[in-house]
Amino acid sequence: MAELRDLYQDIILEHSKRPRNYRALEAANHKAEGFNPLCGDHFTVYLDVAENGEIRDVSFQGSGCAISKASASMMTQAVKGKRTEEAQKLFEKFHHVVTGKNGSEAEDLGKLAAFAGVSEYPVRVKCATLAWHALRAALEGGKQAAVSTE
C-alpha span between 138 and 145 (Å, rounded): 6
The answer to whether residue 41 forms part of the interface with Zn ion (CB under 5 A) is: yes
C-beta closer to Zn ion: residue 49 or 70: 70
Instruction: Give the x/- contact pattern for Zn ion in 69-108, rule: CB under 5 A.
Output: ----------------------------------------
Return the closest-CA partner of residue 129 out of 140, 144, 119.
Answer: 119
Least CB distance to Zn ion at residue 82 (A): 25
Interacting residue with Zn ion among 33, 54, 65, 121 (CB under 5 A): 65
The answer to whether residue 11 forms part of the interface with Zn ion (CB under 5 A) is: no
**Which residues have C-beta within 8 Å of that of residue 79, sequence separation ≥ 6?**
55, 58, 86, 87, 90, 135
Least CB distance to Zn ion at residue 123 (A): 8
Work out whether strand 145-148 and strand 55-63 pair parallel, antiparallel, or are unpaired: unpaired
The answer to whether residue 66 forms part of the interface with Zn ion (CB under 5 A) is: no
Which amino acid makes up residue 75? M
C-alpha span between 138 and 31 (Å, rounded): 5
Q: Which stretch binds Zn ion (CB under 5 A): 23-31, 33-41, 46-54, 70-78?
A: 33-41
List, in sequence order, every beta strand (DSSP E) within the chain: 30-36, 41-49, 55-63, 145-148
The answer to whether residue 127 forms part of the interface with Zn ion (CB under 5 A) is: yes
- The residues that touch Zn ion, with contacts defined as CB under 5 A, are 39, 41, 65, 68, 127
